Structure 1
Amino acid sequence: MTDPTTDRGPTRVAPDAVARISAQAARHASGVHSLVIVPARPYGVTVRLDDRTVSVDVDVVTWYGRSVLTVADAIRDAVIDQVTSSTGLTVREVTVTVTDVVVPGVDVPVPT
């Protein structure tokens, strides 16, 4: 991404930078247990940049008992807010895929 508005030179934001910002925002959204990390997506997200707009795909694992729709909305809000405030880019869409649900006491110990 290049910012053509400055006369002191271009500003570029690399896709990996946007991916890391998006991942941090998604990871801290309410109801997220973890991001799904695979070798092709080391941050757990896929980013597509088109000039000044970005689309983000996030694969997550949520906690059992949490509304998937509510968690997805929280992720979208967090990613859009953080990417916009950190980079000035416009976020076109955030696609959230819930790949699994963690059950406390079954999948992980219940916190004491």
Structure 2
Amino acid sequence: MAQPSPNRPDVPATPLNEESTAGRTTISSLVVQKVAGLAAREVPGVHALGSGVSRAFGALRERIPGSGTTSTSGVSVEVGEKQTAIDLDLVVEYGARIVDVARAVRRNVITAVEEITALEVIEVNIAVNDVHLPGEDDDTPESSRVE
């Protein structure tokens, strides 16, 4: 029998590998990456995901027609049958208290991934790789632009 979800007591949470099911459900790592990335971006103080180099490559890739980019830069995951571990690379807004932003990101990512996928998040590792300064240009440097 399904247990009520701790965040929404009226909605039962169904485990992925319940014995009474008529089949098997698998969740792609890409799904977990996207959910985690979106949840991290929702937190105030997060400017972007990824390091400066990966953001520059992402901006370049977005300019190439048909490149099929995904919004998973700065997010890597390991997904098992019932559990997942998530690594995030963040760029934080200048002036935001990094420890508070990291705590809020961790909490938001765990909540979103567990609610949406029913996977247990065993860890969320966060690396703050850069600080976004007011007035900094978000585009790639002039020398890297594709005309």
Instruction: Say whether the fold is shared (TM-score over 0.5).
Output: yes
1:7 Cα offset (Å): 2.0
SS at match of 2:123: strand
Match of 1:27 in 2: 41
Richer in strand (by share): 1
DSSP-derived class of the 2:134 partner: coil
Aligned to 1:104: 134
Match for residue 51 of structure 1? 81
Report the Cα distance in structure 1 between the residues aligned to 2:130 and 2:23, rounded to whole angstroms: 45
Q: CA deviation at 1:8?
A: 1.8
1:17-40 per-residue CA deviation (whole Å, 9 max, x = no partner) reads 00010000011112100011737x
Q: TM-score w.r.t. structure 2 length?
A: 0.66
- For 2:17 and 2:90, how far apart are their aligned partners in 1? 35
- State which of 23, 45, 61 in structure 2 corresponds to 1:9: 23
**Corresponding residue number in structure 1 for 2:64:** none
Q: Is the 8 A contact 2:16 2:118 kept in 1?
A: no
TM-score by length of 1: 0.85
Higher-Rg member (1/2): 2
Of 30-39 and 8-17, deviating more is 30-39
Q: Name the amino acid aligned to 1:24.
A: L
Q: Assess if the C-alpha contact under 8 Å between 2:37 and 2:71 holds in 1.
A: no
Q: Which runs of 4+ in 1 moved over 2 A?
A: none
The offset of 1:51, in angstroms, is 2.1
Q: Secondary structure at the match of 1:86?
A: helix
- Give structure 2 stretches of 5+ with no counterpart: 1-14, 58-69, 139-147
RMSD across aligned positions (CA):
2.2
Gaps of 5+ in 1: none
Q: For 2:112, which of 57, 74, 82 is the aligned residue?
A: 82
| Percentage of matched positions with identical amino acids | 33
